Amino acid sequence: MTLGLETKKILLSAAIFLVLFALGWKIFIRADMRAFGNVKKEIAGYAEKQATLKEIAGLENRLQSYEPFLSKTRQADWIIETVSRLAAEAGLNLVSATPQNFLGENTEFQKISLSVEAGGGYHSLGRFVEKIENYRPLIRIIGLRVSRPNAQDTSGNLQLTLSLAAYTSAQGAPQ
């Protein structure tokens, strides 16, 4: 069985079409499909990034509710002045107020530490501790020790040693 000239032309045309189609697929369509796949991955990454940014914004909004508890300045002088004033209001004799190390200078929050020694009566000590704990911006008592100044003291005065901490945000005034 021999193929006629018309059949050979049709088969040759079909073969050429298939070869050109395969080359076109390999050169143009396949590259476009890869680009389409990359765009699809990029869109998925963008959606994930948007979700993460939305979550961060939500966390920042929740953090704003804590702003009244934070100091407006990163300097230690405000806490010393505040503790001195609160001690005087409570009727306490402030012996010393010494700034300690600053923590978190490379983070969003900074902890300002202060060591305080004071003397006075039992009720004055209680009023002072209450004033410190209820003060805004937030000052926290980290350590507390109450003792007699010496064994021979019969005046009823006590000695109070406190470790205090206040926190400030990175947006506070510079040091």
Same domain membership, residue 168 and residue 116: yes
Domain of 147, in residue numbers: 68-173
Q: Which of 20, 46, 65 is the last residue of a domain?
A: 65
Q: Which of 22, 39, 65 is the last residue of a domain?
A: 65
Same domain membership, residue 101 and residue 58: no
Same domain membership, residue 74 and residue 55: no
Q: What's the structural domain count of the chain?
A: 2
DSSP the chain: ----HHHHHHHHHHHHHHHHHHHHIIIIIHHHHHHHHHHHHHHHHHHHHHHHHHHHHHHHHHHHTTGGGSEEES-SHHHHHHHHHHHHHHT-EEEEEEEEEEE-TTSSEEEEEEEEEEEE-HHHHHHHHHHHHT-TTTEEEEEEEEE-S-TT--S--EEEEEEEEEEEEEEEEP-
Q: What does the pLDDT read at residue 173?
A: 41
Same domain membership, residue 72 and residue 56: no
Q: Which of 49, 65, 81 is the last residue of a domain?
A: 65
Same domain membership, residue 91 and residue 30: no
84-108 pLDDT tens trace: 999 999 999 988 888 876 655 556 6
Name the pTM for this structure.
0.54
112-154 pLDDT tens trace: 888 899 999 889 999 999 999 888 777 888 999 998 877 666 6
Mean pLDDT of the chain: 80
